[in-house]
């Protein structure tokens, strides 16, 4: 059972008292390996990825009319389905982080597993769009809460020698969750024949039915496939709820709340007696508590009213917004829609989405090496410049390879070059690879803010990141429908060019300095 902060009795033990506590305190339960803890905790990140990726394959089925099992979405409603999850995630990241500080990391992940289950089932059985909306927000709350809690739980539970790899695995699991979502979407779509309707005259693909849908008498259909895609997320959610209850609470959370005996008991469940020094770790936790007790914690108003911290807050917020303005979620959520618009059938578009998921996974793996090798600014510049080139090329393909073949009814003529749809797919895969291999914004979030505003600064920047995620997710479908692919991707390319200049001219370097050195340099630079 998680201890509560108000039960604290001893806040500043001496070294001798710590030695005695370590000697006399047994493990609080059965030994658990760090590998098992990472697998269980990263189910939260896997769910983060699955729930943000699965919608890409579900949306084509949701577009089908109610008689065929869909929700008959408009472009505006389609944007809200994705955007409301991001709104919920922004709330979850902020509220979930505070809940984690108050009640504990493991306790918070346990509660989030239940929220994942409720949100997933609610979305899966929603009879109409108005029931779906609130459950998308609930599911988003779990996604945001997981994004704020799981990395902290891993970092606090791991010894120094394994902290970096464990946190990196967390980020990889998000992308892997998206790949699994795309793969399941493809399997379900293939076994349902793709989006189609069953008329009184037999089966007709949804692509063929759209121009004459008003004249059809629809008797049944396979539009219910989207519900199966969504409900599969309950499996890892239940596994997370069961597994996390078998893990110890974060020893550093216990120590931060002055529960040193509980911290020792939890630490002994995870540490190797031959490789790890529990007493030394506890001594370090006590010393950190002493240092933090002497440091002044600022409110957001204080930070905003101080010249140098205000500039850092603005840089952090802009970095968070630019991370979403890369347009990555236009690929994560809507690629089947884009591929269908350039000539692929809906079923093929859903299946081909797996290739971009694979590109994202490979990119995330390469990114582990990239961020360890190069300076933070240079990684950000590589990402933004690469994305600018990829999206500019994609805009040109739409301008010269797609738009000349568009007909009055919105369909493409049959003489469109066969290479064009495949070229779009390749360019999107390159775009996704560059984004995932150059993601550095989350590292900046942990390094940029000075100690006195690290909590509120990180929360504000991540909250703005999720809000921008919601905006981009909501406006992309109307943009692609009303402006066309050339203008839409041209706009995103221009934004990424501005982001490249921002990394080049404004963003400070943080990799080669300690956190204390970063704080001192930024105060001197921006005061």
DSSP 287-352: HHHHHHHHSPPPPHHHHHHSHHHHHHHHHHHHHHHHHHHT-HHHHHHHHHHHHHHTT--HHHHHHH
- Residue 516, H or E segment: helix 515-526
Q: What would the two tokens of residue 450 be?
A: 């000075």
User: pLDDT category, 163, cuts 50, 70, 90?
Assistant: low
Question: At a CB cut-off of 8 Å and minimum separation 6, what does 304 contact?
Answer: 310, 313
pLDDT at 8: 44
Residue 256 lies in a domain: no
pLDDT at 193: 63
Residue 66 lies in a domain: yes
Does 182 share its domain with 305?
A: no
Count up the domains in the chain and report the number: 2
**How many percent of the chain have pLDDT more than 70?**
88
Residue 215, pLDDT > 70, answer: no
Does 497 share its domain with 395?
A: yes
Does 504 share its domain with 388?
A: yes
Secondary structure (DSSP) of 415-459: TS-THHHHHHHHHHHHHHHHHHHT--HHHHHHHSS-GGGHHHHHH
pLDDT at 223: 63
pLDDT at 123: 95
Q: What would the two tokens of residue 250 be?
A: 């974060």
Residue 339 lies in a domain: yes
Q: What is the span of the domain harbouring residue 123? A: 32-208+218-247
Whose tokens are 């969504």? That residue is: 230
Encode pLDDT of 121-130 as tens digits: 999 999 999 9
Residue 322 lies in a domain: yes
Task: Give the pLDDT mean for 373-381.
Answer: 92
Encode pLDDT of 323-341 as tens digits: 999 998 888 888 888 888 8
Q: What is the CA radius of gyration of the chain?
A: 25
Whose tokens are 């568009």? That residue is: 406
Task: Give the pLDDT mean for 356-376.
Answer: 88
Does 393 share its domain with 511?
A: yes
Whose tokens are 């997710």? That residue is: 473
Does 369 share its domain with 467?
A: yes
Residue 184 lies in a domain: yes
Query: Which range is least confidently modeled, 204-213, 270-279, 397-406, 446-455?
Result: 204-213
Does 68 share its domain with 192?
A: yes
Compare 340 and 200 and report the one with higher pLDDT: 340
User: pLDDT category, 426, cuts 50, 70, 90?
Assistant: very high
Compare 460 and 501 and report the one with higher pLDDT: 501
Does 72 share its domain with 133?
A: yes
Compare 234 and 442 and report the one with higher pLDDT: 234
Encode pLDDT of 472-495 as tens digits: 988 998 898 889 899 999 999 999
Residue 10, pLDDT > 70, answer: no
Q: How far is CA 271 from CA 32, 265, 274, 276, 427, in A?
A: 9, 10, 9, 6, 46
Compare 446 and 211 and report the one with higher pLDDT: 446
User: pLDDT category, 310, cuts 50, 70, 90?
Assistant: very high
Compare 211 and 145 and report the one with higher pLDDT: 145
**How many percent of the chain have pLDDT more than 90?**
34
pLDDT at 14: 82
Does 482 share its domain with 351?
A: yes
Residue 429, pLDDT > 70, answer: yes
pLDDT at 132: 95
User: pLDDT category, 202, cuts 50, 70, 90?
Assistant: low
Question: At a CB cut-off of 8 Å and minimum separation 6, what does 17 contact?
Answer: 10
- Phi first, then psi: give them for residue 203, nearest 5 degrees: -80, 145
Is residue 197 within 8 Å of residue 206, measured between CB atoms?
A: yes
Residue 285 lies in a domain: no
Does 352 share its domain with 226?
A: no
Q: What would the two tokens of residue 333 be?
A: 């959520």
Encode pLDDT of 216-265 as tens digits: 444 445 668 889 999 999 999 999 999 999 999 988 888 888 888 998 99
User: pLDDT category, 198, cuts 50, 70, 90?
Assistant: low
Residue 204 lies in a domain: yes
Does 243 share its domain with 305?
A: no
Is residue 1 within 8 Å of residue 110, measured between CB atoms?
A: no
pLDDT at 164: 59
Quick one: which of 398, 396, 385 has its CA closest to 496? 385
pLDDT at 197: 54
pLDDT at 184: 93
Q: What would the two tokens of residue 423 be?
A: 């070229």
Length of the chain: 527
Task: Give the pLDDT mean for 265-293.
Answer: 80
Residue 6 lies in a domain: no
Q: How far is CA 216 from CA 192, 209, 408, 494, in A?
A: 20, 8, 22, 44
Does 243 share its domain with 391?
A: no
Quick one: which of 279, 22, 255 has its CA closest to 157? 255
Query: Which range is least confidently modeled, 145-154, 173-182, 223-232, 467-476?
Result: 145-154
Does 242 share its domain with 309?
A: no
CATH of the domain at 338: 1.20.1250.20
């Amino acid at each position: 059972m998680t201890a509560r902060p108000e039960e604290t009795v001893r806040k500043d033990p001496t070294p001798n008292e710590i030695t005695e506590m370590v000697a006399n305190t047994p493990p609080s339960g059965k030994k658990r390996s760090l590998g098992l803890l990472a697998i269980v905790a990263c189910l939260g990140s896997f769910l983060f990825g699955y729930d943000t990726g699965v919608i890409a394959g579900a949306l084509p089925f949701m577009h089908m009319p109610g008689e065929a099992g869909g929700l008959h979405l408009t472009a505006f409603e389609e944007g809200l389905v994705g955007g409301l999850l991001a709104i919920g995630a922004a709330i979850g990241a902020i509220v979930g982080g505070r809940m984690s500080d108050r009640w504990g990391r493991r306790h918070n992940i346990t509660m989030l597993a239940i929220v994942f289950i409720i949100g997933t089932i609610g979305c899966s059985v929603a009879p109409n769009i108005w029931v779906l909306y609130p459950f998308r927000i609930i599911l988003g709350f779990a996604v945001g809460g997981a994004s704020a809690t799981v990395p902290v739980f891993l970092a606090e539970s791991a010894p120094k020698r394994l902290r970096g790899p464990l946190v990196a695995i967390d980020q990889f699991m998000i992308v892997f969750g998206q790949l699994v979502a795309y793969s399941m979407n493809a399997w379900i779509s293939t076994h349902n024949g793709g989006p189609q309707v069953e008329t009184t005259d037999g089966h007709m693909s949804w692509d063929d039915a759209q121009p004459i849908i008003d004249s059809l008498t629809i008797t049944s259909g396979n539009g219910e496939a989207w519900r199966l895609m969504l409900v599969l997320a309950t499996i890892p959610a239940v596994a997370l709820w069961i597994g996390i209850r078998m893990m110890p609470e974060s020893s550093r959370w216990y120590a931060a709340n002055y529960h040193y005996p509980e911290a020792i008991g939890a630490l002994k469940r995870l540490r190797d007696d031959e490789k790890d020094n529990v007493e030394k770790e506890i001594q370090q936790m006590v010393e950190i508590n002493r240092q933090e007790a002497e440091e002044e914690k600022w409110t957001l108003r204080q930070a905003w009213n101080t010249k140098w911290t205000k500039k850092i807050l603005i840089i952090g917020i802009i970095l968070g917004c630019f991370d979403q303005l890369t347009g990555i979620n236009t690929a994560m959520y809507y690629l089947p829609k884009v591929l269908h618009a350039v000539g692929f059938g809906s079923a093929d578009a859903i299946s081909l989405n797996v290739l971009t998921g694979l590109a994202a996974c490979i990119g995330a793996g390469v990114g582990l090496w990239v961020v360890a090798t190069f300076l933070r600014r240079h990684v950000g510049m590589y990402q933004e410049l690469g994305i600018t080139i990829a999206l500019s090329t994609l805009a040109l393909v739409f301008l010269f390879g797609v738009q000349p073949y568009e007909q009055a009814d919105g369909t493409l003529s049959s003489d469109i070059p066969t290479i064009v749809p495949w070229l779009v797919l390749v360019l999107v895969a390159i775009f996704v690879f560059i984004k995932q291999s150059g993601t550095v914004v989350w590292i900046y979030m942990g390094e940029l803010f000075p100690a006195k505003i690290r909590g509120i600064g990180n929360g504000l920047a991540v909250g703005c990141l999720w809000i921008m995620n919601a905006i981009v997710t909501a406006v992309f479908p109307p943009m692609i429908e009303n402006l066309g692919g050339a203008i839409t991707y041209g706009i995103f390319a221009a934004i990424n060019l501005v982001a490249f200049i921002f990394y080049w001219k404004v963003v400070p370097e943080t990799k080669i300095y300690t956190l204390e050195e970063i704080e001192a340099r930024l105060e001197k630079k921006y005061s």
